[in-house]
Amino acid sequence: MTEADIYEKLREKMNLFPVRVPRTREVIEMFKVLYTPAEAEFLTSFSAPFQNPETMDQIVEKTGKTREEVQKIIDGLILRGLLHRFKGKDGTVYYTMMPLVPGLELYYFSSGGDSDEKRRAAKLFNKYYMAGLGTELGASNYPWARLVPSEKTITVEKELSADLLILPFEKMSEFLKTSRKIAVINCSCRIIKQCDHPLETCLVFDSVAEYMVERGFGRYLSLEEALELVERTEEEGLVHNTTNTQMKPTFVCSCCTCACIILRGLAELNNPRAFAKSNFLPVRDDEICTKCKTCIDVCPMQANVYHAAHDNEPERILFLEERCIGCGLCASHCKNGAVKLVKVRDQIPEKTYPEALMRFEAERIH
C-alpha cells in the first residue's frame, strides 16, 4: 500500500462518522502533517470513530503488533490529542478513533503548545474548511450544533408566547447540570484561525474533560465557576454553541464569527443549516432605547442597523429578523434594558448526542 493509499484509507474510515470528511487535497495534506504513515495505518484498524471502543488487548490482537509497539504508538497519538482514551464504569481503559469534527479538531488544536507542525495543520484545516468541510457541517436539515442564548436575558412575553415555556436545555445553568465533570480548555477555533478574543473560553465535559485535564490541556471547574466563565464570555461578545441535544453536552464553545467553525457556516458560507438558532428573538422598546448603537456593535450577525432621522422619519434602530440567531448579546449588553429576549418558537432537539447524530444522518441533504 502506498503512502497516498494509507492516508486515503484513513479518510475513508473517518468518513464513516455521520459528520463526514469530504475528499480534498487539503485534508490529505493535513493528515500527512498530523500522522506518520505508521500511525495512519494503525488508526485504520479501529472501528468507525467513537464506535466500538477497544482495550489494549483487543488492539494488540487485531493489529498483530507487540504490546510495546502498540503502547508506543498509542502514547504518541494521545500526547498530541489524536486518539481518545477513557475509562469505563468498571475502570477498564478503552481507546477509540476520533472523528475529524467534532473530535480531532477539538482535541488536537486545544492540546497546548505551539509548533511548526500545529501551525501548518491549522493553515490546512482552515483551507479545508473553506474547500468542503464547512459545507459538510451544514449538510443536514437537523444541525449537529445549536446556539444557546444568554440565560440572564430570556423571558416569556405573554402576548407573543403564551404557550411557550423555558425548557431546561435552553438555560445554560440547567444544561450544564446534566454532566458529571466540567473543564475549560483553549478554543480550538481561535488556534486554527487566530483573532483578538480570549483563548481559554471553551467548556468540555465528562470523558473529554478527564482526557484534557489528565494531559495538562485543561483544568476542572465547578458548575458555579463554569457559569461565571459563560457570563464573562458574554461580556466579551462571544456566542455559545453546543451539541444539538437536550442533555449531556460534549462541549460548549463560546466563540465568534471571525473564528468559529460553527458560526462561520452561516456568517461566511451563508448556510442556514450550519447550526440550530435559539428559540428566542429580541424585542426592543423604542421608548426606552437611546440609540446608543451598542446592540449594533455587539451583534455577531449584523441584525441591527442604524436608521438616521430624515424626511420626517425618526431616528431608530432597525431589526433584521432574518439575520438574527437569537443569541441575546444585544439584550445582555443593553445598559438601559431596552431589549428583551423573548421565546417565539419551541423547537426541541434530540435528547442525547447519539440520537442527534442519527437524526443528522437521516435528514442529510447532500
CATH number at residue 295: 3.30.70.20
* CA distance readout (Å), 22 to 134, 174, 262, 288: 10, 36, 17, 50
Shared-domain flag, residues 121 and 239: no
Shared-domain flag, residues 173 and 43: no
Shared-domain flag, residues 75 and 118: yes
> For the chain, how far is it from start to end, CA to CA, in angstroms?
31
Shared-domain flag, residues 255 and 192: yes
* CA distance readout (Å), 280 to 100, 289, 319: 31, 20, 14
Shared-domain flag, residues 285 and 266: no
Shared-domain flag, residues 87 and 22: yes
- Domain endpoint, select from 95, 119, 137: 137
Instruction: State the total domains in the chain.
Output: 3
Contacts of 32-35 spanning 24+ positions with Cβ under 8 A: 32/3, 32/7, 33/117, 33/120, 33/121, 33/124, 34/80, 34/82, 34/104, 34/108, 34/117, 34/121, 35/7, 35/10, 35/82
Shared-domain flag, residues 310 and 262: no
Q: How far apart are CA 35 and CA 30, in angstroms?
A: 9
Shared-domain flag, residues 204 and 316: no
Name the pairing type of β-strands 154-155 and 339-343. parallel
Answer yes or no: are the C-beta atoms of 183 and 167 closer than 8 Å: no
Quote the pLDDT of residue 165: 72
230-268 burial, b at 16+ Cβ within 10 Å, e below that, comes to: beebbeebbbbbbbbbbbbbbbbbbbbbbbbbbbbbbbe
Q: How far apart are CA 1 and CA 8, in angstroms?
A: 11
Concatenate the DSSP letters of all residues of 62-109 into one string: HH---HHHHHHHHHHHHHTT-SEEEE-TTS-EEEEPPPIIIIIHHHHH
- Domain endpoint, select from 83, 117, 137: 137
Residue-number span of the structural domain to which 288 is assigned: 280-343
Shared-domain flag, residues 159 and 219: yes
CATH number at residue 109: 1.10.10.10
- Domain endpoint, select from 108, 137, 166: 137
User: What are the grid coordinates assigned to 88, written together?
Assistant: 469505563
Shared-domain flag, residues 243 and 356: yes
How many residues are present in the chain?
366
Shared-domain flag, residues 123 and 13: yes
pLDDT (tens, 9 = 90+) of the chain, 366 residues, equals 788 899 999 999 999 999 999 999 999 999 999 999 999 999 999 999 999 999 999 999 999 999 999 999 999 999 999 999 999 989 999 999 999 999 999 999 998 777 899 999 999 999 999 999 999 999 999 999 999 999 988 875 554 455 667 888 999 999 999 999 999 999 999 999 999 999 999 999 999 999 999 999 999 999 999 999 999 999 999 999 999 999 999 999 999 999 999 999 999 999 999 999 999 999 999 999 999 999 999 999 999 999 888 878 888 899 999 999 999 999 999 999 999 999 998 899 999 999 999 999 999 998
Shared-domain flag, residues 221 and 353: yes
Quote the pLDDT of residue 54: 95
Quote the pLDDT of residue 320: 95
